[in-house]
Amino acid sequence: MFFSRKVITEDELVDLHGKVAIVTGGNTGIGYATIEFLARKGARVYMGSRNQGRAQKAIEEIEAKLQKSGNDNQASIHWLQLDLSDPRSVKEAATEFIAKEERLDILVNNASHSSFGPYKLNQDGLLDIMVVNHISHFVLTETLLPLLRHTATLEDSDVRIVNVSSTAHTHATTESFAARENLNKQFGDSVTGYLATYGHSKLANILHIKNLQTRLNAQTSPITCLAVHPGAVMTVGASGFLNSVPFFGWLLKVFFGPLFFTSWTQGAMTSAFAAAGKEVAETRKSKDEVERRKYEGGYLVPVANISEPSTYAKDERLQRELYETTMEVLTEMGIAFK
């Protein structure tokens, strides 16, 4: 599937001086480029990453780029220790963040387990890809939600929560999320099976964002929640997946990669628009209710276009089931929210 290749520039993003953002998985790929976008607009950005060495190297690279381009906007980038393979440590990291920051304007749940298996169950009996791609980001979001809601009450606030999903969600045929076994659902030990399992976790990203928007609207909390498909981007994960496909994957990567895959920066444009696009902010000020809610719970595809996700992703029953089952699993793990 081909998407529009328009370009998002800094002029199309809101000013972020005095604003605080978190981007998970920011030491490489789409997250790295998203952080660069937000920092250029003046935000104080936290790079959620497990490895301090890699995070610090990435931070120094981005800061050097900003200095070289003459971008002296008082932006700052900081490491946030975040191990998404362990929801309990994610809870601790988010709690520590709340203790030291008085606001949070942007949360971009970007990090992702790769799209090639095999996948396995962790010590809690949960599928590793679902833990990283959905459960831990759910914990991060729910723990930070009081701070996000508080920020939304401040003058001139524009709080956004973004889940980076994938068009791979259309490969998942998921009839129910009403029990733990549905979180652990796998689609076989093959390239297509791994892609469908990955898509299953990416479907959860969209279901989560839509349920979250519904809950926030019920609380009349003015927060915009969006899911995005970044497009085909030559990230480490994409490269690894292609390498796992005998011969054809290597052929696609070497000879056709430049035609079908975009750069990190191009891949991050839709995420940056979702997190800080002026158009999103302007629609919220509209007197027309339909226009005002245009982006709420929306799904964006490259570049920054509203699109329709799969029928499963729009299923309100699945949205509720995923929320309830995730909460039940986390309660069993001793993780609770205020």
- Residue 87 carries which side chain, given as an amino acid letter? P
**Residue 213: inside a domain:** yes
Whole-number pLDDT of residue 330 = 98
The answer to the question of residue 141 being in a domain is yes
Residue 5 lies in a domain: no
Q: Which of 32, 198, 299, 323 is catalytic?
A: 198
Is 198 known to be catalytic? yes
Report yes or no on 275 lying in a domain.
yes
* Low-confidence residues in the chain, pLDDT < 50: 1-2, 249-250, 253-257, 259
Domain of residue 285, CATH code: 3.40.50.720
Domain assignment present for residue 130? The answer is yes
Check residue 178 and report its DSSP letter: S
CA distance 333 to 203: 23
pLDDT at 321: 98
34-48 per-position pLDDT tens digit: 999 999 999 999 999
In a domain, 255, yes or no: no
* pLDDT for res 115: 73
pLDDT of residue 5: 62
- Active-site annotation holder among 49, 114, 115, 165: 165
Residue 169, SS3 per DSSP: helix
In the prediction, which pLDDT does 10 show?
87
- Alpha helices by DSSP H, the chain: 29-40, 52-68, 87-100, 128-130, 136-152, 180-183, 191-218, 236-244, 248-251, 257-260, 264-276, 278-284, 289-292, 316-332
For residue 2, what pLDDT is reported? Answer: 46
Residue 64's CB: how many other CB atoms inside 10 A? Answer: 10
Catalytic residue, chosen from 41, 91, 202, 253, is 202
338 domain-assigned: no
Q: Of all residues in the chain, what percent carry a pLDDT higher than 70?
A: 89
Residues of the domain holding 285 = 10-232+262-332
Is 190 part of the annotated catalytic residue set?
no
Is 312 within a domain? yes
What is the tally of structural domains in the chain?
Answer: 1
Pairing between β-strand 298-301 and β-strand 223-228 as defined by DSSP bridges: parallel
Triad 32, 39, 158: Cα angle to 5°: 110
pLDDT reported for residue 247: 52
Report the distance separating Cα 224 and Cα 206, nearest Å: 14
> Residue for token digits 């793990």?
333
